[in-house]
């Protein structure tokens, strides 16, 4: 089992939108089929595409699927993202994500994970655990 697959399995066990994700997506394929990290926009396109080819769900259910994917399988460009996009990917509060944006505005773009870890109040271990989900381009 790959690391991403293992993380996916753990995420499925603890996420409040798990049941909705499994219900909507599991009708057509195994929930473990999700194996790539995508941007929030790419996941939105994927969900829209699935709906256009027959995935069934209410707007609320599709929103739950997108929340689940945002928290568990989304990558973010830390140098261009809004706080609302950063928070679920890094598993931080909206306030902490806004601190990242404010720091970036004052100090300039982040070049490395070490640069990001200088933001006051961030947990370096949490950042390290999510480093594959952070882009610095």
SS3 of residue 60 by DSSP: helix
Q: Report pTM.
A: 0.74
pLDDT in tens, 84-133: 999 999 999 999 999 999 999 999 999 999 999 999 999 999 999 999 99
Contact call for residues 88 and 32 (beta carbons, < 8 A): no
């Amino acid at each position: 089992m790959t690391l991403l697959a293992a993380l996916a399995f753990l995420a499925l066990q603890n996420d409040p939108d798990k049941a909705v994700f499994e219900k909507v997506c599991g009708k057509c394929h195994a929930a473990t089929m999700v194996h790539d990290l995508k941007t929030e926009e790419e996941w939105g396109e994927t969900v829209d595409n699935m709906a256009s080819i027959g995935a069934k769900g209410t707007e609320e259910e599709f929103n739950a699927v997108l929340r689940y994917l945002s928290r568990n399988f989304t990558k973010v460009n830390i140098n261009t993202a809004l706080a609302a996009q950063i928070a679920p990917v890094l598993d931080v509060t909206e306030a902490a994500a806004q601190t990242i944006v404010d720091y970036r505005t004052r100090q300039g773009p982040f070049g490395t994970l070490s640069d990001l870890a200088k933001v006051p109040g961030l947990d370096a271990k949490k950042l390290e655990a999510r480093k594959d989900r952070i882009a610095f381009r």
